[in-house]
Structure 1
């Protein structure tokens, strides 16, 4: 991980119990099921923090309540809360969220990643960076950044 931590002693919370979506018995097995808040949360809950050996869920950087889904309009918004106001990894965390959802969701979805209002010193700049296609594409051309994102997205075997 990174030395010179901004938040050397973050508060670590207990993970929620995993839940599964219930599917009615009369649903056609070939029907496309709507994507909901729980499904998005299950995709992103285990992303590792770039600075700490904890998941974004354990650090309360993400929560199920901070996810909005409009399946009808193919829209997902994830709002995350950095652990400190001057978190230098906020853009990397947002990029991890975006990449994970790009890899997990059908391409018809528009994904909006946001820093929770009032939780980061450069909130507007981070939000602009995370939701600009060209900036995201440029970031994903940087091999060091891609390695960091892949490390955060690697499955943990706890």
Structure 2
């Protein structure tokens, strides 16, 4: 028997249409690590991450928004503040891990990544900002499969 969803009927928003930004290569930041990286660039990389419980992207559920991304290119710093669909979301750490992994795989190593907002925000951030905990989580094959599933693009 499948577990009950925390938010069985989330509000789903329409995705914004975006012009394609021309960048060299396959979209990996390493090829242009010295070029300016801005809020829109970060949002374009994380907007299609799928929610672990629903077939919608984090953008469609308004878990992430452009306005909730801070970028300080000079300090090589990115902060993504995310808002789960419900205050007591049990998937907040998984969502944060998906965001962190996506940005770790995409951003040049000069950037620091920090996630965001939840009823137990301090505990979630403590887990996601602890390199040993993240490394241990990424050694769990079931968790890695879940993260990879969330990061797999959907072409609806």
**Normalising by structure 2, what TM-score?**
0.89
Q: 2:40 is paired with a residue of what secondary structure?
A: helix
In structure 1, the partner of 2:3 is: 3
* C-alpha distance in 1 between matches for 2:105 and 2:46: 11
My pick for the range that moved more, 102-111 or 30-39, is 30-39
**Normalising by structure 1, what TM-score?**
0.87
Q: Is the 1:38–1:64 Cα contact (8 Å) retained in structure 2? A: yes
Q: 1:52 is paired with a residue of what secondary structure?
A: coil
User: Of the candidates 45, 48, 57, which is equivalent to residue 47 of structure 2?
Assistant: 45
* C-alpha distance in 2 between matches for 1:31 and 1:49: 28
- 1:95-153 Cα deviation digits (max 9, x unpaired): 000000011111111111122xxxx3212101111111111111111110000000000
User: Of the candidates 106, 109, 115, which is equivalent to residue 108 of structure 2?
Assistant: 106
In structure 2, the partner of 1:147 is: 145
Q: Which aligned pairs between 1:10-89 and structure 2 lie closer than 5 A?
A: 10-20=10-20, 32-89=34-91
My pick for the range that moved more, 135-144 or 56-65, is 135-144
Q: Is the 1:114–1:130 Cα contact (8 Å) retained in structure 2? A: no
Alignment size in residue pairs: 147
Q: Which has the larger radius of gyration?
A: 1
* C-alpha distance in 2 between matches for 1:150 and 1:22: 25
* C-alpha distance in 2 between matches for 1:8 and 1:106: 37
* C-alpha distance in 2 between matches for 1:98 and 1:62: 13
